[in-house]
Structure 1
Amino acid sequence: MAPRSEPLAVSHAIRWGAVVTLTGLCGGLSGLGLAALLHAIQHLAYGYSPATLFNGESFLDGVGSASAARRVGVLAGCGVVAGVGWLAVYRWCKPLISISRAVKSADPRMPVVATTCHALLQIITVALGSPLGREVAPREIGAMIAARLSSYARLTLDESTVMVACGAGAGLAAVYNVPLAGTLYVLEGLLVSYNWRALVPAIITSMIAALIARMGLGNLPQYAVPQYASTPSLMIWSAIAGPLFGLAAVQFTRLMSSARAQAPRGAALPALCLLNFVFIGLLATQLPILLGNGKGPAQVGFDGSINLELAAILLVLRVLITWTSLRAGAAGGLLTPGLCNGALFAILLGGVWSTLWPGTPLGAFAVIGSAAFLASSMRVPLTALALIFEFARPSQEFLIPMLIAVSGSVLTAEYVRSAMAASASRRVMQGEVEQTGA
């Protein structure tokens, strides 16, 4: 019996290794392909130079150079694509399976056609100007491919679950060039496990995916950020402001969850999407920086080239159009929108602080605020820290005020969520008692 079991174990190890390697490769290629599609649509829609497809002219530069009429027209087209596209997915494709649901399922496979269409619609609409994030699309494609590879290789359910999570992490690592954040997202956000059976494939797949994507996208950070100093003023501000970011993140996620829950899935979807995106296009005639997933406002926040008045206006409007887009039935992530909101909110708080203790650049507040807000809104503090470090590449000493702010934000957010859950539970129990008494 033993001589026969050894070849079986070796064969299984080879199949497992092949799935890990292919998941990283496919995650990198799909992330690269989706990024190329995004940039190509942006350049075509807004008419800026195709020579700057992967570097040079930014999306903010492109939409700023486009005429007001073109912005409205492109957003109207975005509304048509979003409304008709997602109506078709909900009506004629298999039911969508989210990554988190696949990871917890006894069958982690995700429907190929529905998942692919859902991901492509997110990329197309974000490229056309949707305020939602693009990070869900590469994660879904990576997870879907990993599930299929695991099925073909006849891996165990536990191994397949890990590989689905790794596929999602590989997609994130590729599209944003964040191998560390991709790894931590797998462990912290999906599997909630740091054992070696999860850690090793998470590292390998995210590393391979990021290296593959760099061949086409380059090894540049997502944001150009000065090397801000970690000062006593900034550390004290981080301790005071951290809980405020936690409170804001809880309200933001509640608002967006409510919008998603009430979003139409039937005949009203195309009309609402069209109205929503035309409304955004009209706003963009005056504020082109509103368009897209929030990278533009985050960038001007990080480099400190934005004043307090514009930051306040953009924060209110960004939250509004993110809510209206989800409420109208559009789909997308909240990573970059959350990062953007955190940066803008931090600039406002930092502006107030600077009247008391001047000398700190507004951009320094924005970098810390984006990490604190993202940590609580996504509920993945380690991933959020890694994302900001890989996005902006600040100095190592900047980790200290970031940790202070993130700690305060997460502690406050989790306390508030626990209190809200306890209050809701008491209301349910009270209702049941009243019904029984009646």
Structure 2
Amino acid sequence: MERTENSASVQNAVPVTLMQPGAARFWLAVLLTGVGTGAGAAALTRLLELVQHLLWPGPGASLLDAAAQAGAWRHVLVLLGAGVLTGIGQIVLVRLSSANGIDITEAIWFSAGRLPAIRTLGSAVLSVIVVGMGVSLGREGAPKQAGAVIANAISDTGHLPDGQRRLLVACGAGAGMAAAYGVPLGGALFALEVLRGALSLRMVLPALLTALVATAVSWLVLPDAPTYLIPSYLNSTCVTVWALVAGPIAGLVSVVYVRTIAFADRHKPQGWRRLIAPPLTLGVLGVISIQFPQLFGNGKDIAQLTFVGQVAPALLLSLLFLKPLATALCMGCGTPGGLFTPSLALGALLGAALGHAWSWLWPGAPPGLFAVIGCGRGARGHNSGTGVSRGIDDGTNGS
């Protein structure tokens, strides 16, 4: 019995040299996963841009600019259409597969990374389309799902043992985030720390190599440009003292946000309600967005404005409540999408709002610097419990 367990442990171990049995097969799988994930992320990003360009035309370069200039009827009809598409998509995708849900972390931990390929890819495409239409969720969920499916398929083809499959699927999902945002180091750390739950030296090289290859492939199609343009800010005593005061407040807000998202995720509609809830919910958000076009999209545009101090205090307070509420409602009605960028946007809004209040007591620091610091708190909240992008769930996995 002990000899069998030791044999299985050796088989599942990540090979560190090409001389080990199965090493060439494993490292070839790593390279192919990186290439496939990078190509998939580029294709999904282009699809999102196409949908956004067709439904939100305008001279502005961002979704926020186009939404601000669009008529009220477009706000309601486009989000209502996203709700109808989500409702139909949920029914169709669940019927395509009898497997359990497609949560990536659960698949890695409990199913050795095995995912229902058609339903997961279908959810990824649906996510990109509705995010391009303007729902308040992140776009990183789709390339993460695509990377996980590609890694799973390559693991099947290469007959990799379960231990290597788990790692490769985590690497594929992390590489999807890396390719989507051009952050190979961040994608590798996400794969190991958040998805795989182990930050060991033996696993670092496969994760980093997959993320680097995926990012390089995506750069062949996508522009190599920063996601955010942040001015050069200088630290000061004012900002340091503010961080000590604002830190506990940001922590409490993060707890509330994580629990709200978890509650919404647990109470997704089931049965025939899958068809009704998304149009009703997104239709209401469309009406609210007439007054607050900043609710459209994943929050990237409004975060960018806070970084340069171009959001009025009254609007900051309104969006600090409405933006996370919109994200929770989108999640709760079953819309597939990511949570990374919405979490960053919440942190930026909170930091900017607290920064404006602090400036009345201790003037001098630019408001945008407070938003940048708060954005880091939002990222931490994302990793604490909202890091897993959600797809179409059939209600059988208890999530």
Q: Taking structure 2 as the reference length, what is the TM-score of the superposition?
A: 0.88
Aligned residue in 1 for 2:131? 126
Given candidates 10, 28, 40, the residue that maps to 1:18 is 28
| Offset of residue 242 of structure 1 | 1.2
| Offset of residue 352 of structure 1 | 1.3
Q: Deviations over 1:263-290 (max 9, x none)?
A: 1121112221111111111122222221
Identity percentage of aligned residues: 37
* Structure 1 counterpart of 2:316, one-letter code: A
* Structure 2 counterpart of 1:14, one-letter code: A
Q: Deviations over 1:383-428 (max 9, x none)?
A: 9xxxxxxxxxxxxxxxxxxxxxxxxxxxxxxxxxxxxxxxxxxxxx
| Offset of residue 332 of structure 1 | 1.8
Alignment partners' CA distance in 2, 1:13 and 1:338: 39
SS at match of 2:73: helix
Given candidates 29, 37, 47, the residue that maps to 1:37 is 47
Given candidates 264, 269, 272, the residue that maps to 1:264 is 269
Aligned residue in 2 for 1:298? 303
| Offset of residue 252 of structure 1 | 0.6
Contact 1:43 1:62 (C-alpha < 8 Å) held by counterparts: no
Alignment partners' CA distance in 2, 1:324 and 1:172: 24
Q: Deviations over 1:28-81 (max 9, x none)?
A: 1111111000000000111247xxxxxx81222222232221222111111110
Aligned residue in 1 for 2:56? 46
Q: Deviations over 1:270-316 (max 9, x none)?
A: 22111111111112222222111111211111111011100111111
| Structure 2 segments unaligned to the other structure (5+ residues) | 1-17, 388-399
Aligned residue in 1 for 2:248? 243
Aligned residue in 2 for 1:396? none
Of the structure 1 ranges 32-41 and 206-215, higher mean CA displacement relative to structure 2 is found in 206-215
By relative contact order (CA 8 Å, sep 6+), the higher-ranking structure is: 2
Number of matched pairs: 369
Q: Deviations over 1:229-270 (max 9, x none)?
A: 122211121122112111111111111111111111211122
* Structure 2 counterpart of 1:140, one-letter code: Q
Given candidates 315, 322, 333, the residue that maps to 1:317 is 322
Contact 1:141 1:168 (C-alpha < 8 Å) held by counterparts: yes
Of the structure 1 ranges 36-45 and 332-341, higher mean CA displacement relative to structure 2 is found in 332-341
* Richer in helix (by share): 1
Q: Cα–Cα, structure 1 residues 61 and 175, in superposed 2: closer, same or farther, change >3 Å?
A: same
* Structure 1 counterpart of 2:30, one-letter code: V
Q: Cα–Cα, structure 1 residues 39 and 178, in superposed 2: closer, same or farther, change >3 Å?
A: same
Alignment partners' CA distance in 2, 1:123 and 1:335: 14
Matched, 1:135 2:144: no
| Offset of residue 106 of structure 1 | 4.5
Contact 1:293 1:336 (C-alpha < 8 Å) held by counterparts: yes
Alignment partners' CA distance in 2, 1:319 and 1:98: 22
Contact 1:252 1:377 (C-alpha < 8 Å) held by counterparts: no
Structure number with larger C-alpha Rg: 1
Alignment partners' CA distance in 2, 1:114 and 1:362: 44
Q: Which aligned pairs between 1:198-347 and structure 2 lie closer than 5 A? A: 198-347=203-352
* Structure 2 counterpart of 1:42, one-letter code: Q
Alignment partners' CA distance in 2, 1:37 and 1:48: 18
CA RMSD of aligned residues (A): 1.9
Q: Taking structure 1 as the reference length, what is the TM-score of the superposition?
A: 0.81
Contact 2:108 2:114 (C-alpha < 8 Å) held by counterparts: no
Matched, 1:112 2:113: no
Aligned residue in 2 for 1:163? 168
Matched, 1:60 2:70: no
| Structure 1 segments unaligned to the other structure (5+ residues) | 1-7, 50-55, 384-438
SS at match of 1:219: coil
Contact 2:87 2:278 (C-alpha < 8 Å) held by counterparts: yes
Contact 1:99 1:140 (C-alpha < 8 Å) held by counterparts: yes
SS at match of 1:217: coil
SS at match of 2:22: helix
Alignment partners' CA distance in 2, 1:97 and 1:64: 35
Contact 2:67 2:75 (C-alpha < 8 Å) held by counterparts: yes
Matched, 1:69 2:73: yes
Contact 2:343 2:381 (C-alpha < 8 Å) held by counterparts: no
SS at match of 2:270: coil
Alignment partners' CA distance in 2, 1:92 and 1:208: 32
Of the structure 1 ranges 369-378 and 301-310, higher mean CA displacement relative to structure 2 is found in 369-378
